[in-house]
Amino acid sequence: MTEPGASSPDFEDQLISLLPRLRRFARSLTGSAVDADDIVQSGCIKALRGQAGFSPGTRLDSWLFRILQNTWRDELRRRSARPEGAAVELDLDLPDEVDRLGDRATLAAVRSAMRYLPEEQREALTLVSVEGLPYAEAAAILDVPIGTLMSRVSRGRQRLRRLVDGEPALSEGTR
């Protein structure tokens, strides 16, 4: 960064080189390709406008994940057509698909199952398991104590496993 508020080519280059990961993050978080690219686009624009708020020497990926995360939360709040905690019947027959098609199908089932997790578990798993961030980093992005993060990660992973294994599931807090 040269002077505060100046548009830094460095910053932009780094942001552009992080785009594949930002898209993966957003895809996991939103469960939809369209929503994912929307939040990446508005998040990156916010980031470029607000790049003075980034502290050099800290992780740019974490900073951007946090912006995307907030963008998505705002969007969910805006949509909130479905009340929090509403039960939704899972309409997928996951295990059959998995047996038939093997590995690719397992991963497809994982992506489907992710969409049925409660938002806070999906957020935690996206940061820790999809993006591979250390727990401390993920807890800081989500602004929760590390113990809370660990409990979301463990509950999320158990629930995910049950969904992929085909346990008939009622999900709570889905969108």
Partner 1 sequence: MMKPLSDEILVAYADDELPPTERAAVERRLAHDAEARDRLAAFTSTGQWLARAYDDTLREPVPEALLAAIRAQRDTTSPAGSAAAKDLSLWRRLRAPDWRSAWPAMGGVGLGLATGIALMLVWPHAGPLAPDVTLLVDQALETAAGGEPLQFELAGERLEITPIGTVRTAGGEICREFTQVRGATAQESVVTHGIACRTAGGPDAPAWRTLAKVELLPPSAETPGFGLASGAPQVLLDALVETLGAVEQLPPDAERQLLEAGWE
| CA 41 to each of CA 17, 58, 76, 87: distance values in angstroms, whole numbers, following the listed order | 14, 22, 16, 31
**Least Å distance between CB 141 and partner 1?**
16
**Least Å distance between CB 80 and partner 1?**
9
> How far is the C-alpha of 42 from the C-alpha of 74, rounded, in Å?
12
Site stretch for partner 1 (CB under 8 A), options 21-29, 62-70, 88-96, 167-175: 21-29
> How far is the C-alpha of 126 from the C-alpha of 105, rounded, in Å?
19
Tell which one of 71, 121, 171, 174 touches partner 1 (CB under 8 A): 71
Size of the site for partner 1 (CB under 8 A): 55
- Report if residue 24 touches partner 1, rule: CB under 8 A: yes
- Report if residue 12 touches partner 1, rule: CB under 8 A: yes
| Range 105-164, binding partner 1 (CB under 8 A) | 106-107, 110-111, 114, 125, 128-130, 132, 134-135, 147, 150-151, 153-155, 157-158, 160-161, 164
- Report if residue 23 touches partner 1, rule: CB under 8 A: yes
> How far is the C-alpha of 103 from the C-alpha of 109, rounded, in Å?
10
CB 91 within 8 A of CB 113: no
CA angle, 146 then 42 then 9, to 5°: 90
- Report if residue 41 touches partner 1, rule: CB under 8 A: yes
Tokens of 89: 């019947």
Q: Which parts of 18-102 fold into alpha helices (H)? A: 19-30, 33-49, 60-79, 94-101
Q: At 170, which helix (H) or strand (E)?
A: strand 170-171
- Report if residue 38 touches partner 1, rule: CB under 8 A: yes
What does the binding site for partner 1 look like in residue numbers (CB under 8 A)? Answer: 7, 12, 15-16, 19-21, 23-24, 27-28, 32-42, 44-45, 48-49, 71, 74-75, 78-79, 81, 106-107, 110-111, 114, 125, 128-130, 132, 134-135, 147, 150-151, 153-155, 157-158, 160-161, 164
